Amino acid sequence: MTSIDLKNHASLVLVAILILSGDFGACHARKSQSWRQSRIHLSSIMDKGHSSRHKRITPPAPAPALKPKPPAPTPMPIPAPPAPAQTHENSTTFNVQDYGAKGDGHTDDMQAFLAAWAAACKVESSTILVPSGSVFLLSPISFAGPNCKPKITFQLDGKIIAPTSAKAWGSGLLQWIEFTKLTEIIIKGEGIIDGQGAVWWNNSSVYAGTDSIGQNRTNELNKMISAELSKMPTTKPTALRFYGSSDVTVTGITIQNSPQMHLKFDSCTNVQVFYISISSPGDSPNTDGIHLHNSQNVLIHSCNLACGDDCVSIQTGCSNIYIHDINCGPGHGISIGGLGKDNTRACVSNVTVRNTVMRNTMTGVRIKTWQGGSGSANNIMFSDIQVSEVETPIVIDQYYCDKEICKNQTSAVAVSGINYANIKGTYTVQPVYFACSDSSPCTGISLATIQLKPHQTSHHLYGPFCWETYGELKTSTMPLIDCLQKGNPSNAPSKIVLCQA
C-alpha cells in the first residue's frame, strides 16, 4: 500500500471518528441531562423520604383540656329611661315663674301668683314656690281656699314687695296678702314680705340717713315718700292676714315695714308661729307685730319682733294662747286688748307668756280695756320676763284710751286671775301700774319674785301705782308694791261671770 493510500485511509478513519464522536457526545449529553433530571427528581424524593425516615417526628400536641365554661354573667338591668320633666299636671310643686311671674320688682306678678295658686289647689300636699334671687311686686291679693285640697305649702324664698302707688289700693283695703278658709296651710322659707310702709306712715323721716344709699338718695326717697303719702288712702292694710283657717303654720320668713299690722290671725284655730322676724321702725304707727283676734290654740315662740306698736296683741275671742322665747323691742310690749271698745263684749282666757326679753319698749306685759265694755279677761300668766329700759314693765289699764278724750263710763271688762312671776330688769318711768275700774275692780292679782330697778335716766320716776286692785304678794318685791289690796272688794259681785272665748 502506497503512502498515498495510507494517508487516504487515515483520513477516512479520522472522519469516521469525528462523526462518531459527535453522535456519541450528543447522545451522552442527552443521557446526562436526563440522568441529572432523574437524579434531581429522585434526590428530591429521597430527601423527603430521608427526612421522614431519619428526622424525629414531633407528634401533634394533644388538645388542651377543656376548662369548665364560666357561668354566663347575669345580664345587667337595663336602666330605665330618665323620667320626663314634670309637667303641671303631675307635679306637686308650682313655681310662680312657670306661670309668668317676672320677679323684676317692677312688673305686677299678681296674676301669675293666682294662676300658680289655682293649679296647686287641685293637688293635695302641693307646694307653691316663690324662688330666691327675685323680687316680686304684688298688688293686693287673696288666696281663697274653700275649694282647695288640704296641706298647701307656700315656700317663700324670694322677696315680695307691696306697691307704693295709690292707684293699686283704690279707696283703701284692710289687708295686702290674705289667706282665707284653708286647712293645713304652711308659709315657710327664708324670704321676705316687705310692705314698703313708709309711704303710709305720717313720719317719713324714719328712712333718713339709716341706709347706705347716700344722703342725696335718702333725700330723694323722702321727697318721693312725702309726695305719695298725701295720695294714699286713709285705710292702711295689714301685710299678711289669715282668716277662717285651721292648722296654720308660719315659720322662717321675715315680714317688714307693714303699713299697719304685720301678721294677723282672725278666726283661726291651731296656729303655730315660730322662727320668724318682724321688723319696722319704732315710730311707725300701729304696726303691731302679731295680732290675734277670735283665735284659739295658738303657739308663738322663738321670734324676733321689732315694731311701732305691740309686739304681740291679743284681742277678744282668744283662748289657749301660749307665747314663749320672744325677743321684743322696739315696740309696746305684749298686750291683751284693748278689750270692750265701743261698748262691746270681750272674752280672753288661758293665756301664758313666758321666757321673754323686752328691750326699749313702752310697756312690758299689759292688759288694757276700754270703759263701757263687758265680758272678762281671766286666767293669765306672765312669767320669766326680762326687761331692759322698759318704760312701765307691768300694766293693767281699764281706762285705756287712744284719743285725747274718752267718755267716762261705768261698765268694764272684768279682769281676774292674773299672775306675775319672776319679772326682772330695769324700767325708765314706773315699775308697776294697776288702774282698775271702780265698778269692776281687778281681782285675783298675784305677784312673786318681782325685781325691777330704775335705769339711769333723766325721766322723772314714779313708784308703783294701784287703783281698785286686789290680790296678794306671794314674795317680797323690789320695789315694795304695797298698794295692792288684799281680799276682795266690798262692791264686787258675789260671782264673776266669765265668758268663753
Q: Which amino acid, residue 55?
A: K
Element containing residue 36 per DSSP (H, E):
helix 3-54
CA distance 437 to 398: 6
- Using H for helix, E for strand and C for coil, what is the string for 384-413? EEEEEEECEEEEEECCCCCCCCCCCCCCCC
Paired residues of 397 in beta bridges: 368, 435
In angstroms, the first-to-last Cα distance of the chain is: 188
Residue 355: helix, strand or coil by DSSP?
strand
**Residue 96: φ, ψ to 5°:** -65, -25
Match 289655682 to its residue by C-alpha cell: 118
Active site residues: 309, 332
Q: Which of 446, 438, 445, 444 is nearest to 491 (CA)?
A: 438
- Model pLDDT, residue 218: 56
State how far the Cα of 153 lies from the Cα of 442, in Å rounded to an integer.
Answer: 44
CA 212, 215, 217, 219 dihedral sign is: positive
Residue 410's nearest CA partner among 366, 375, 370, 466 is 370
Say if residues 364 and 393 touch (Cβ distance below 8 Å). yes
What span, in angstroms and rounded, lies between the C-alpha atoms of 423 and 203? Answer: 34
> What does each of the 501 residues of the chain score in pLDDT, given as a tens digit?
444 454 445 455 444 444 444 444 443 444 444 434 443 343 443 344 443 433 443 444 444 444 444 454 444 444 444 443 444 445 899 999 999 999 999 999 999 999 999 999 999 999 999 999 999 999 999 999 888 999 999 999 999 999 999 999 998 899 999 999 999 999 999 999 999 999 999 744 444 334 444 555 556 656 665 555 568 899 999 999 999 999 999 999 999 999 999 999 999 999 999 999 999 999 999 999 999 999 999 999 999 999 999 999 999 999 999 999 999 999 999 999 999 999 999 999 999 999 999 999 999 999 999 999 999 999 999 999 999 999 999 999 999 998 888 889 999 999 999 999 999 999 999 999 999 999 999 999 999 999 999 998 667 899 999 999 999 999 999 999 999 999 889 876 655 667 766
Provide the whole-model pTM: 0.79
Supply the pLDDT for residue 38.
Answer: 40
How far apart (Å, rounded) are the C-alpha atoms in residues 146 and 127? 17
User: Position of cell 333718713?
Assistant: 208
- Strands (DSSP E) contained in 181-237 are 183-188, 192-194
Q: Give buried/exposed letters for 350-384 (b at 16+ CB in 10 A, else e).
A: bbebbebbbbbbbbbbbbbbbbbbbbbbbbbbbbb
CA distances from 409 to 162, 253, 496 (A): 41, 43, 19
Helices marked H in 57-183 = 110-120
d(CA 299, CA 172): 31
Phi and psi at residue 265, in whole multiples of 5°? -120, 120
3-state secondary structure 288-315: CCEEEECCEEEEEEEEEEECCCCCEEEC
Q: 81 is written with which cell numbers?
A: 329611661
Paired sense of beta strands 104-108 and 135-137, if any: parallel
pLDDT number for residue 440? 94
How far, rounded to the nearest angstrom, does the alpha carbon of residue 164 sit from its chain's CA centroid? 25
Which amino acid would we find at residue 205?
A: S
211 DSSP assignment = S
Question: For residue 456, which of 426, 425, 433 has the smallest C-alpha distance?
Answer: 426
The set of residues, in sequence order, having a beta carbon less than 8 Å from that of 222 and lying 6+ positions away, is 204, 205, 207, 208
Query: CA 244 to CA 268: how far, in whole Å?
Result: 5
For every residue of 370-387, DSSP letters joined together read -TT-EEEEEEEEEEEEEE
Cell 267718755, located at residue: 407
Shortest CA distance to 450 belongs to which of 357, 397, 384, 354? 384
User: Do the Cβ atoms of 418 and 445 come closer than 8 Å?
Assistant: yes
